């Protein structure tokens, strides 16, 4: 059975246009107008293929293959459709539309195998609205509950409950995991490994864990012109030293695997002629070993406290979120390796520095992840791209795993 690669690429190119920042990458936050347009685009294709459609209270979508039977266990594939700000045209949507393409191909071939098939579209994976990654899958797995509808707020203070305008979270938002045989997420690598080594398929061993803290450094605001350098308590200068110290400490990791990023910052009062009074920034540390994440985070936070004390600034630290690394299912990994060998595909078993919804599902359903190369290893930027043949190879490989080694 062969997917329709041209159709997949044309779907990806159609959906790329649903962005708030045309000409500057794809910006498509969950619950936005463009998010709704992509949803409608996908649901329209699903309807024409006679698929069942179910959208849950937080916006996760499940599409069921027309001839799924109640007695079959299900193989579910999918990813997300939301993006970061000025992101790329493939992150998330590639796995979602590839799963749709697999489903259309199975339907056109009147496939009826051992297992049924579903496509899942996870809501709010990037956390662009509320700063919490994998939000949709955290509701599906019960990590998040009704109270989180009020806890999760966007920068304007609007809560997720207000976005969804729901009174209470229905109990059936948590999946009946016994229904499922396996879950697969196909995704672009978003890093340099496969592209650099010219390998078309990545088979994922572990998805990195990640701990994020929010740090507020407070100094003394003052006049930028009249305040002598020797009398300043500049919050931004102190914060800059803090961020550089995080980079230095983590860059010394002997395995050269741990990563630290300060990606979001607000400055108060943020005027060119005022010495910054306070600065709030996020700091996230990721690794495949939770103990390394914690030991580096504690080391960095100690150093940040020292820097602020030296500069007579105060510092407050708020734990924002934490997710442990997840080793994906070994049996599923072996089945994917066997499929790659049978298809004479070069592959590489590797870890994922990016987090993914598959990591949330993995404790409940045997889960596998497949990567395709990212050109120059870049992602979360307008440059994000993958060769057409690699996009098609990845989706075909997903179909071959499902209809081959999984049978
Ligand atoms: O941050 C991540 O790793 C994912 O792209 N949300
Ligand atoms: Mn993604
Ligand atoms: Mn992403």
Per residue in 54-80, pLDDT (tens digit) is 999 999 999 999 999 999 999 999 999
* Structure confidence by residue, pLDDT tens digits, 240-288: 999 999 999 999 999 999 999 999 999 999 999 999 999 999 999 999 9
> Residue 181 has what pLDDT?
98
Q: Is the CB of 133 under 6 A from ligand 1?
A: yes
Biggest CA pair distance of the chain: 78
Burial environment of residue 113 by CB neighbours within 10 A (0 to 12, 13 to 18, 19 or more)? middle
Q: How far is CA 277 from CA 87, 217, 223, 271, 318, in A?
A: 31, 8, 11, 10, 19
> Residue 396 has what pLDDT?
98
Give me ligand 1 centre to Cα 249, in Å. Answer: 22
SS3 360: helix
Residue 18 near residue 37 (C-beta atoms within 8 A)? yes
Burial environment of residue 289 by CB neighbours within 10 A (0 to 12, 13 to 18, 19 or more)? middle
> Residue 407 has what pLDDT?
86
Mutate to test the pocket of ligand 1, among 81, 84, 357 (most ligand atoms within 8 A of CB): 84
**Burial track 351-367 (b if 16+ CB lie within 10 A, e otherwise):** bbbbbbbbbbbbebbbb
Phi, psi of 156 (to 5 degrees): -90, -5
CA 193, 199, 201: angle at the middle one, nearest 5? 95
- Alpha-helix runs per DSSP H in 17-116: 33-48, 93-108
Give me ligand 3 centre to Cα 95, in Å. Answer: 12
> Residue 332 has what pLDDT?
98
Mutate to test the pocket of ligand 1, among 26, 212, 320, 355 (most ligand atoms within 8 A of CB): 355
* Structure confidence by residue, pLDDT tens digits, 181-197: 999 999 999 999 999 99
Q: Is the CB of 284 under 6 A from ligand 1?
A: no
Mutate to test the pocket of ligand 1, among 82, 85, 208, 354 (most ligand atoms within 8 A of CB): 354
CA distance 4 to 103: 11
Minimal CA–CA distance to 198: which of 374, 9, 337, 334?
A: 374
Residues of the chain with pLDDT under 70: none
- The closest-lying atom of ligand 1 relative to the alpha carbon of residue 380 is 5
- The closest-lying atom of ligand 1 relative to the alpha carbon of residue 379 is 5
Mutate to test the pocket of ligand 1, among 126, 207, 285, 288 (most ligand atoms within 8 A of CB): 126
Give me ligand 3 centre to Cα 177, in Å. Answer: 25
What residue ranges in 229-271 does DSSP mark as E strands? 259-261, 265-268
- The closest-lying atom of ligand 1 relative to the alpha carbon of residue 355 is 3
Give me ligand 1 centre to Cα 319, in Å. Answer: 18
Q: Tell me which residue has tokens 């860059």.
A: 251
What residue ranges in 125-241 does DSSP mark as E strands? 180-188, 201-207, 209-218, 222-223
> Residue 127 has what pLDDT?
94
Minimal CA–CA distance to 395: which of 121, 194, 145, 95?
A: 95
Q: Is the CB of 188 under 6 A from ligand 1?
A: no
> Residue 94 has what pLDDT?
99
Give nearest CA residue, ligand 1 atom 3.
354
> Residue 399 has what pLDDT?
98
> Residue 112 has what pLDDT?
85
Q: Is the CB of 359 under 6 A from ligand 1?
A: no
Give me ligand 2 centre to Cα 233, in Å. Answer: 40
Q: Is the CB of 132 under 6 A from ligand 1?
A: no
Name the closest ligand to CA 189. 2
Q: Is the CB of 245 under 6 A from ligand 1?
A: no
Residue 42 near residue 53 (C-beta atoms within 8 A)? no
Q: Tell me which residue has tokens 């050109």.
A: 375
Name the closest ligand to CA 380. 3
Residues 6 or more apart in contact with residue 375 via CB below 8 angstroms: 195, 383, 385, 386, 387
């Amino acid at each position: 059975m062969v997917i329709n690669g041209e159709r997949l690429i044309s779907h990806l190119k159609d959906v790329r246009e649903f962005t708030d920042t045309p000409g500057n990458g794809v910006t498509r936050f969950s619950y936005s107008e463009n998010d709704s347009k992509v949803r409608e685009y996908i649901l329209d294709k699903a309807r024409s293929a006679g698929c069942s459609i179910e959208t849950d209270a937080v916006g996760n979508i499940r599409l069921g293959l027309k001839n799924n039977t109640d007695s079959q266990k299900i193989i579910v594939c999918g990813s997300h459709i939301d993006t970061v700000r000025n992101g790329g045209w493939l992150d998330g949507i590639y796995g979602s539309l590839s799963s749709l393409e697999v489903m259309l191909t199975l339907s056109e071939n009147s496939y009826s195998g051992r297992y049924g098939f579903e496509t899942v579209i996870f809501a709010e994976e990037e956390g662009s609205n509320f700063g919490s990654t994998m939000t949709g899958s955290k509701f599906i797995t019960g990590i998040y509950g009704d109270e989180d509808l009020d806890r999760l707020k966007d920068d304007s203070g609007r809560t997720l409950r207000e976005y969804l305008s729901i009174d209470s979270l229905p109990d059936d938002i948590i999946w009946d995991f016994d229904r499922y045989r396996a879950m697969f997420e196909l995704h672009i690598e978003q890093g340099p490994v496969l592209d650099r080594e010219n390998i078309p398929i990545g088979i994922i061993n572990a998805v990195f864990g990640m701990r994020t803290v929010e740090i507020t450094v407070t100094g003394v605001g003052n006049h930028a012109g009249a305040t002598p350098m020797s009398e300043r308590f500049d919050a931004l200068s102190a914060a800059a030293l803090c961020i550089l110290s995080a980079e230095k400490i983590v860059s010394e990791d002997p395995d050269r695997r741990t990563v630290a990023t300060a990606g979001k910052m607000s400055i108060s009062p943020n005027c060119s002629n005022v010495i910054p009074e306070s600065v709030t920034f996020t700091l996230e540390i990721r690794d495949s070993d939770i103990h390394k994440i914690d030991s580096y985070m504690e080391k960095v936070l100690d150093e940040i406290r020292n820097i602020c004390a030296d500069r007579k600034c105060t510092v407050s630290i708020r734990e924002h979120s934490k997710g442990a690394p997840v080793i994906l299912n070994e049996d599923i990994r072996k089945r994917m390796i066997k499929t790659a060998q049978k298809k004479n595909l070069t592959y590489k078993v590797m870890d994922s520095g990016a987090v993914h919804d598959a990591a949330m599902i993995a404790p409940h359903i045997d889960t596998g992840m497949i990567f395709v190369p990212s050109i120059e290893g870049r992602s979360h930027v307008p440059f994000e791209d993958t060769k057409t043949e690699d996009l098609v190879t990845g989706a075909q490989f997903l179909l071959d795993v499902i209809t081959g080694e999984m049978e």
